[in-house]
Copies of this chain bind each other. A is one copy, B any other.
Amino acid sequence: MAPSSVGIKDVAAEAGVSVATVSRVLNSHPSVSPASRARVLAAVEALGYRPNAVARSLRTDQTRTLGLVISDVLNPYFTELARSVEEAARALGYSVIIGNADERPELQDHHVRTLLDRRIDGLLVSPTDGGSPLMLDAARAGTTPMVFVDRWIPGLDVPVVRSDGRAAVRDLVAHLHGLGHRRLAIIAGPAATTTGSERVDAFRDALHEHGIALPDAYIGQGDFQAASGRRATERFLALPEPPDVVFAADNLMALGALDAIRAQGLRVPQDIGLAAFDDIPWFVHTDPPVTAIAQPTGDLGRAAVRALVDRIEGRSPRSVTLPARLVVRRSCGEPDPGTAGTESPSSERSNR
Q: Count A interface residues, CB 8 Å.
A: 62
Complex CA distance for A46 and B116, rounded to whole angstroms: 18
Contact B141–A259 (Cβ < 8 Å): no
Contact B80–A116 (Cβ < 8 Å): no
Complex CA distance for A255 and B281, rounded to whole angstroms: 8
A82-101 near B? 1/0 per residue, CB < 8 Å = 11001000100001011010
Contact A100–B73 (Cβ < 8 Å): no
Q: Which residues of chain B come closer than 8 Å to A259, judged between CB atoms?
A: 284-285, 345-346, 349
Contact B144–A4 (Cβ < 8 Å): yes
Complex CA distance for A333 and B97, rounded to whole angstroms: 44
**Which residues of A51-88 have CB atoms within 8 Å of chain B's CB atoms?**
51-55, 57-58, 63, 73-74, 76, 79-80, 82-83, 86
Q: Is A45 interfacial (CB-CB < 8 Å)?
A: no
Complex CA distance for A54 and B98, rounded to whole angstroms: 18
CB distance from A220 to the nearest CB of B (A): 18
Q: Is A344 interfacial (CB-CB < 8 Å)?
A: yes
Contact B346–A226 (Cβ < 8 Å): no
Most buried by B among A3, A63, A119: A119
Contact B50–A116 (Cβ < 8 Å): yes
Q: Which residues of chain B come closer than 8 Å to A289, judged between CB atoms?
A: 287
Contact A282–B255 (Cβ < 8 Å): yes
Contact A95–B114 (Cβ < 8 Å): yes
Identify A263's interface contact among B95, B255, B345, CB under 8 A: B345
Q: Is A227 interfacial (CB-CB < 8 Å)?
A: yes
Complex CA distance for A141 and B2, rounded to whole angstroms: 7
Complex CA distance for A54 and B121, rounded to whole angstroms: 12
- Contacts A86-B100, A227-B352 aside, 18 further interface pairs with beta carbons under 8 A come to A1-B140, A3-B141, A4-B116, A4-B144, A5-B143, A48-B137, A50-B117, A52-B117, A54-B54, A54-B57, A74-B76, A83-B102, A255-B281, A258-B284, A259-B284, A259-B346, A263-B346, A287-B287
Nearest 8 A-B pairs (CB), nearest first? Answer: A287-B287, A4-B143, A259-B345, A282-B282, A53-B117, A285-B286, A258-B285, A53-B118
What are 21 A-B residue pairs whose CB atoms fall within 8 Å in the complex? A1-B141, A2-B137, A2-B141, A3-B141, A4-B116, A50-B116, A50-B117, A54-B118, A54-B119, A74-B76, A74-B80, A83-B100, A86-B100, A95-B97, A226-B352, A255-B282, A259-B284, A259-B285, A263-B345, A282-B286, A287-B288
